[in-house]
Amino acid sequence: MILLLLMCGCIVGSTTVLFGFGGGFFIVPLLYALLTTGTDSRICDAAMHIAVATSTCVMIFSASMATFRQHQTGMIDWCLVRPLVGYIASGAVLGAIFAISMQGIWVKWIFISYLVITLLDSFFRPGFVTQAAGSVRPMSGGVTAITGTTIGIVAAFLGVGGSVMTVPLMRRRGAKMAQATAMANPLSLPMALAGTLTYIVIAWNDTAVPGRGFAGYVDVQAFILLVAGSWLGQKLSAPLIGRIPDRFYAKSYLGLLIFVLLVMVVI
């Protein structure tokens, strides 16, 4: 299990720095599968919540490291990122509360449904796979508030980071894939921080939550191994930042989503 988590962390590090994935699309299915094969009934019953909460916590570090690397390359437009930060953090608190109050099996199928909707939208609505990218069009104040809050709710609820919403959003507003994926990382940070604190605080006195080795719903051992692997994955992938052809970049992003969808349906 240790080697498997380290390898998953390495993949997460690569996808975070290259595609803006906070890691949830790999961590959530893996942890869910591992936790449901155990003999502890409390862990099995809370498997989906633990997987989502641990994934959210890992994102604090993977997104921070990726943001630093992307900032060094000049890919992040902070004028577009800053207005969304507060709204995403507020939405993340609500998303974490909703997830904890819902049975794990419902979280799993909502996760799957969200992936299907995202893929259909990206394939059939023009502007994602192929576009004439230019300067990114800014959003109005009202649209920023609604969009940011929605991203925070959905991302924390599913433990997937905001990339699955922010990348298509920035893409359709004129960003190249390299820009869109770069801006997904700093936008995942407020969600990860607010969501993790909520998962820990709300679950702290819940007797149904496994105590030893857990901080609320966060699996501490899995968290440490995934972060270590993520650091290595980002270090190995950093030379590819900004060098992947745009159309291939977009198709690869959708290919990763399809892979994760299939994994979640099977487990």
pLDDT digit string, tens, across residues 170-198: 887 778 888 888 888 888 888 888 888 88
3-state secondary structure of 267: coil
CB 226 within 8 A of CB 12: yes
207: CB partners within 8 A, 6+ apart: none
Give the per-residue pLDDT at 223. 93
Q: What is the pLDDT of residues 17-26, one digit of tens each?
A: 888 776 677 7
Give the per-residue pLDDT at 63. 86
Give the per-residue pLDDT at 225. 94
| Band of pLDDT at residue 87, cut at 50, 70 and 90 | very high
Q: What is the pLDDT of residues 8-65, one digit of tens each?
A: 889 888 888 888 776 677 788 788 888 888 767 778 878 888 888 898 899 888 889 8
Task: Give, to the nearest 10 degrees, the angle between helix 2-19 and helix 24-35.
Answer: 160
Centre a 10 Å sphere on the Cβ of residue 39 and count the other Cβ atoms it contains: 6
pLDDT averaged over the chain? 82
Task: Give, to the nearest 10 degrees, the angle between helix 177-203 and helix 78-100.
Answer: 40
159 vs 167 pLDDT, higher one: 167
C-alpha dist (Å) from residue 122 to 18, 130, 217: 18, 10, 33
